Amino acid sequence: MTGAGGVESFLFAGRLAISQPVDGYRFSVDSLVLARFLDRFPAGRAIDLGTGCGVVPLVLALRHPSLEIWGVELQEKLAALARENVLRNQLAHRVHIHCLDMTTITLRLTGGPVDLAAANPPFYPAAQGRVSPHPQRALARHEVAVTLTGVVAAGARMLRTGGVFAAIYPMGRKAEVLSELGRAGVAPKIVQAVIPKEGRPARFFLVAGEKGGPSGLEELPPFVIHTRAGAYTPQAAALFRR
């Protein structure tokens, strides 16, 4: 559906209404997969790095009534849309959107360290593949403005000791991501492959690490989105339930 503010999406049987750009970057199922993954890490305070239209903070705030979360977005139009979405869903008392470069943020933003830092970041290095001619999509999908190193460093900087950094990345960058987490003092703890359709290889993976934590990595069973027939699997259908 298209409304005055852009393309309208409704989640959780209409409990959450989200506007997205008509012509620009829109969230996809990977944002919802990440949000569900984040449910396993109890947190009172969290930050979402590269929040786009605010979908991850909004989903988390709706599902976790005691959570306070900050969303950081570099692109002004997306940040403005995220603020509108927060107001529309009456969550401004717990969801705070800031138009900032994540590489510059400090603990002053949140008034102290957070328990959880999340990122659905640009997936691909700037030199890899075709970069979209649309600036908004290019910044969201390719590392034009921030690299993997910058994303991990920002998350680590904002976390308390023992806090969790969690993200979703393409499978081809798994070794690189795990190595970068270790260099930032965030011990990789959980990985989970994300398979788009039964019988096909994993396309993405979810990762979580603990700041200052001990080594030890657990690999969860894959998260499969579609059955061979094209329907949502039971675990994927749960993405759309409150």
SS (H, E, C) the chain: CEECCEEEEEECCCCEEEEECCCCCCCCHHHHHHHHHHCCCCCCEEEEECCCCCHHHHHHHHHCCCCEEEEEECCHHHHHHHHHHHHHCCCCCCEEEEECCHHHCCCCCCCCCEEEEEECCCCECCCCCCCCCCHHHHHHHECCCCCHHHHHHHHHHHEEEEEEEEEEEEHHHHHHHHHHHHHCCEEEEEEEEEEEECCCCCCEEEEEEEECCCCCCEEEEEEEEECCCCCECHHHHHHHCC
Residue 130 structure tokens: 């075709």
Spell out a b/e string for 152-173, using b for 16 or more CB atoms within 10 Å of the CB, else e.
Answer: bbbbbbbbbeebbbbbbbbeeb
Residue 139 structure tokens: 């910044």
Q: What is the pLDDT along the chain (242 residues), one digit of tens a residue?
A: 444 456 788 888 888 999 887 766 667 889 999 999 999 999 999 999 999 999 999 999 999 999 999 999 999 999 999 999 999 999 999 999 999 999 999 999 999 999 999 999 876 665 555 655 545 554 556 555 689 999 999 999 999 999 999 999 999 999 999 999 999 999 999 999 999 999 999 999 999 999 999 999 999 999 999 999 999 999 999 887 76
| pLDDT tens for each residue of 197-233 | 999 999 999 999 999 999 999 999 999 999 999 999 9
Bridge partners of 183?
Answer: none
Looking only at the bridges linking them, the beta strands covering 159-170 and 114-119 are: parallel
Please report the sign of the dihedral spanned by the C-alpha atoms of residue 7, residue 206, residue 107, residue 143. Answer: negative
CB-CB contact of 67 with 94 (8 Å): yes
pLDDT, residue 130, reads 60
> What end-to-end distance do the CA atoms of the chain give, in Å?
21
| pLDDT tens for each residue of 50-70 | 999 999 999 999 999 999 999
Record the pTM. 0.89
